[in-house]
């Protein structure tokens, strides 16, 4: 497993899709800061009311736009996390489907590596790439924004704990999303169809998020919106994400184990 992860890390450094994802994330940081400087309005995405509470994704939400705080830049960057949802689709397509169609996975298996370990190594490296993008987006925006606007307010230990809680929550949600996509990629094995179905599924989930809340509340998008509104139940998120990761990993690994490699 160590050699597999080492090999995956080496490939990730030169993966064009990952490099492009970093560039897109960097552009999102710049755009977020630009909005804070030149736009005086809060931008709301997927905004709706559910059970007497307002749900949605907020961008450029500052109490004092003249003196924006570090934590406000951190939360404002959350509005660009849906961009990462799209990037995850292309990362999975590149790391899983492209390597399957090009015969890279077959060559790795020919060296005696067990297919289950290959599958898990793909999951780990994709989760690592997602973690890098999330940290870059959230903390990169907060640091650059504070550097430009100046350090306003105090940074307490409770604020640090709150940021870590939010970061852990959003990371787990995206890990579960990646696990779902990898399982789907192994089933479909066609990059174009996989990308289209993933995006359609995302649109359907967003469109009917509150109509079928009993089901969708356990899905990544609903949990993501709850985090954006700072309504975080860490125990529930850990439980839901763990169940999603375990189920999709078991299903995906089983299919991958019995798959005819090209």
Q: Which two tokens stand for residue 56?
A: 């949605």
Which residues pair with residue 55 across a beta bridge?
A: 48
pLDDT higher than threshold 90 for residue 220 = no
Give the residue extent of every domain in the chain.
2-257
DSSP 65: S
Mean pLDDT of 152-160: 72
Q: Please, which pLDDT band fits residue 216 given cuts at 50, 70 and 90?
A: low
Q: Which residues contact 229 (CB under 8 A, 6 or more apart)?
A: 53, 54, 55, 56
pLDDT higher than threshold 70 for residue 218 = no
Question: Do the beta carbons of residue 77 and residue 35 sit within 8 Å?
Answer: no
Question: Do the beta carbons of residue 115 and residue 257 sit within 8 Å?
Answer: yes
Mean pLDDT of 235-255: 87
Q: Report helix, strand or coil for 2.
A: helix
Mean pLDDT of 62-85: 76
Mean pLDDT of 40-68: 64
Percent of the chain's residues with pLDDT above 90: 15
Global pTM reads: 0.84
pLDDT higher than threshold 90 for residue 23 = yes
pLDDT, position 131: 92
The pLDDT tens digits for 101-128 are: 877 777 777 777 788 888 888 899 999 9
pLDDT, position 109: 74
């Amino acid at each position: 497993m160590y050699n597999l992860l080492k090999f995956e890390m080496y490939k990730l450094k030169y993966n064009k899709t990952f490099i492009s994802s970093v560039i897109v994330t960097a552009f999102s940081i710049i755009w977020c800061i630009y909005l804070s400087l030149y736009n005086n309005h809060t931008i709301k995405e997927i905004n709706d009311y559910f059970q007497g509470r307002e749900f949605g994704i907020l961008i450029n939400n500052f109490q004092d736009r003249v003196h924006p705080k570090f934590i406000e830049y951190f939360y404002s960057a959350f509005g660009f996390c849906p961009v990462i949802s799209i990037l995850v689709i292309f990362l999975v397509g590149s790391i899983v489907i492209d390597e399957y169609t090009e015969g890279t996975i077959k060559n790795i298996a020919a060296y005696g590596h067990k297919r289950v370990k290959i599958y898990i190594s793909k999951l780990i490296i994709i989760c690592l790439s997602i973690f890098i993008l999330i940290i870059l987006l959230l903390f990169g925006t907060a640091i650059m924004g504070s550097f430009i606007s100046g350090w306003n307010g105090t940074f307490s230990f409770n604020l640090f704990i709150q940021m870590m809680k939010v970061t852990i929550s959003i990371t787990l949600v995206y890990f579960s999303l990646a696990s779902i996509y990898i399982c789907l990629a192994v089933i479909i094995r066609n990059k174009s169809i996989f990308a289209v179905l993933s995006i359609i599924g995302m649109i359907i989930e967003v469109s009917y998020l509150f109509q079928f809340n009993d089901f969708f509340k356990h899905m990544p998008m609903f949990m993501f919106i709850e985090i954006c509104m700072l309504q975080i139940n860490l125990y529930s998120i850990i439980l839901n994400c763990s169940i999603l990761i375990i189920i999709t990993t078991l299903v995906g690994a089983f299919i991958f184990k019995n798959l005819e490699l090209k």
